[in-house]
Every structure is written in structure tokens, then in C-alpha cells.
Structure 1
Amino acid sequence: MTRRPDAVMLFAAGFGTRMGALTKDRPKPLIEVAGRPLIDHALDLTDDLRADRVVANLHYLPDQLATHLAPKGVLMSREEPEILETGGGLRAALPLLGPGPVFTLNTDAIWSGPNPLTLLRKAWNPDRMDALLMCVPIAQTVGHAGSGDFTTNAEGRISRGPGLVYGGAQIVKTDGLAAISEQAFSLNLLWDQMHELGRLFATIYPGRWCDVGRPEGVAMAEELIADV
């Protein structure tokens, strides 16, 4: 199995129901922030990697996304008839992604600072890690409600708890997906397996991060971009 990730999975299949009217006639990744679709901001991050393959999963209003992504060379994994969630979606896309660890990236966030994917690649150690999550301290988040998803120890291993928000970028080994019986499931199931083995890690993002999960997040993200 390849130890260095050379493929990126973009999660773009969701309904975006929290965005209200903004997703009535378009998928959330095509909502514009600072004059560009959200998914194009995500693709900017993948450009620095020069990855062999970039794959996006599609479900809600898939033809709009397919028309937008095809000229950009993005491969597409259509989820039909049902949406598969993050874990099931990643597993369904493996024939396009290929073997070995992969980057995954949510398409509903804006990062202000160093490219989180290149930071992940520098910190990745497959001998110790089955997944490396990019996490953001609460104080550096914009538009996020809650106390956080994870806490970390001195070695970088993470457990469920307050303090750090998962920013939606990671490197993850995919071989554990085959043992999960559900068809549609969250990546949390895979992370829980890795945590039990002591192989779930995080690296801390040094910049700021904005969640664009609700309509008000668009203006917040645009203000964050303008501050750069």
C-alpha cells in the first residue's frame, strides 16, 4: 500500500439544508463566497499538492456540479439513489481514488493562513498514524458554535472532547472501511476504530478558519478573506 497520499477526496454530496433558500436551486459547493463558488476555494488548496487525482462525490443537484467540475479535471463519484454520508461516500469513491491513504477535504469552509493540506502532508507519519486530522482551536474559528470536537495529548493523539474543532481536512488510511457493515455511515465510525488503537492524531492549524454551514457564514467568510 502506498504510504504517501496522492489523491484528494472532496465531500460535495450534501443537501446543505442549513443554508435555507441558498440551496433551493443549487448545491452548497456552488454557493459563492467572495465571487467564487465554495468548491473553487477548496480546489485552490488542492492545486499546491499536485495530486494525481482529485475526486468529488455528488448527490444533490449533481448535474450542476458535474458541469462545473468536469473542465477542471475533477473525477466524480455519483451517489445514487441514496446519499452515503462521509464514510460511505469515501468508500464508494475508492475505485477512483486508488489504494493507500488519501486526503479528504470538506467544501464548506474557508481557511485563512497556510494551506492545511500541505501542513498535513508535512506532519504525516504512517508508521504511527492511521488518520491525521487538521484541527482548529476554538479561539481561531469563525461562525462555529459549540465547544469543539477533540482534545489532544502531548503526542498529538486525540480523543473526543472540547477545545479543538475538526476543520474538515485530513489524511486517512482507507483499508478499515471494508469492515464497516453499514452502507451509509459517518467517518466517525472509522475514527473510533483508529482511536481504540491509539492511531488517531491531529495537527493544529496556525491560522483562522470559517465554517460556511449557515447563510450568515457567507458574510463572515468574505470578511475573513478581506482581512488577509
Structure 2
Amino acid sequence: PNDFGKSARAAMGGYGSGRQWGQATTSDMRRLDIRRLQRDGLLKPGRAFGWQWTRNGTEVASIQMRMELDRVILNYRSRSHGGEWQAMEYPVTLEWTPCHLGGRRAWFRCPARGCGRRVAILFGGSIFACRHCHKLAYPCQRETDDDRAARRADTIRRRLGWEPGILNGEGGKPRGMHWRTFERLRAEHDANANASLLGIARRFRLNIPGLG
């Protein structure tokens, strides 16, 4: 789809996610989040378990992990550009830091050659590595000004309980919200929605009545 299609979907259905035009973003990639593994009690030496990624309820990728003392062994298959599958198995060092209220927090050390950054998330490619090694941007870094305005408008819509998407019309005042707060939020929403639509119109040379 072209850029206008992406912008239109964001306006109709809420701010989009995933790959923005240009550089890949963190939301494009499969991720291993050590905070989730620690929260689920999986970082114990001797534990072996599988992890799956799904899309619409269907498994699209999986990995096997085996815990050792202060490291985890990753085992999976990888291929590039439709080539042959290759078996991948390598260790990722873990590091532990104390928490202010007691206990310890786990971190990955990025296994990419020459890196070793301490990170909470590794992103899958031919190897699992940190955001910097994969040259990933955060989605917000790839936003245009009108994308950013649409996202801000949708944040307000969620707070007000309105349907996502700046073209979907306004709802009413949430029960229990003061009128002054509601009017302020509605004014902020309208300003951001108009800025987003004006940006889209200018970018694609469209004539949208009421915008100037």
C-alpha cells in the first residue's frame, strides 16, 4: 500500500503500528523480553522451554531456550531471503542488578559480535540482538507530524472512551468527568485531529473542505 493508504487507515482506525515507510522499527521484529521470562519464573538453571510467536492465533515462529548459570542457550532455525534453513544455537549471557526494594533484575548482554550492551529486549533476525545492532528505530521516530498529531488525538479518544480514528466522529462526555476537563480534552483532540488532516492534505495535495 502507498503512504496515503497508511495515513488514511490511521485516520479511520486509530494510529497504526508496525513498519513505517523507510527504516524498520522495533514493532516489526520478534522479540525476547527478559522481563517477561523473569516474571514467569523461567530464569532458573536447568529449565528448558519453548517460546512461540503467533499471528491471528496461528504460530509463525518458535524458539527453544535452555537456562544455565547466568546464561541462556538459544536454539532455533533461521533463513535469509528465502534461502536454506540454518540451525542456530548460541549462548546469551545474563547479568543481574539489585532492585531498590530488594530482589534482582535480569538483563541480556547482546550477543552480537563487538556489542555486549545490557538490554531488556533482544530482537530476532539471523541472530537475536539489541535494537542498535539491528539498526531499529522506535515507531515514534518514523512518524511524520500528521502521524504524531493523529496519535495524540487517539490518546485523547481512548481517555474519553471514543471509537479510535479521527474520522469516526465524536462521542459524548464520559460519566463522572467534569465538563471543564471534557471541554479541554475535546479542544485538544480537535486541534490535533485538524493538524493531522491538514498534514495529510498537504502531503498528498488533497483539497479537504474546512481545512486551511
TM-score bin, normalised by smaller chain: under 0.3
TM-score (norm 1): 0.22
TM-score (norm 2): 0.23
Higher relative contact order (CA 8 A, sep 6+): 1
